[in-house]
Amino acid sequence: MISSINAAAADVPALRDDLFFQAAVAVEATLPREDFVPRAAKPQAYIGAPMEIGWQQTISDPYIMAIMTAAVQVQRGSRVLEVG
């Protein structure tokens, strides 16, 4: 999943060269995405796309989450609540 995010960003200099984007992707690489999806979806947790999580809700695409995180320039130590 992380390699596909980096590959997609490689063609977008504004992302590829953005330190906030790079930091967001690095953090995403450490997160256990399977902990945020239903048990049946765990094998697909790292496909790099939005996924149904029940209650008519989805977990966001990791690429889009990295872009949004970079756009708000989240600083180390910040707490962020993303409410789809």
**60 catalytic, yes or no?**
yes
Identify the active-site residue in 3, 4, 60, 78. 60
From CA 49, how far away is CA 31, in angstroms rounded? Answer: 15
Give the other-Cβ count within 10 Å of 47's Cβ.
Answer: 14
| DSSP label of 58 | E
- Residue 9's nearest CA partner among 67, 75, 71 is 67
Active site residues: 60
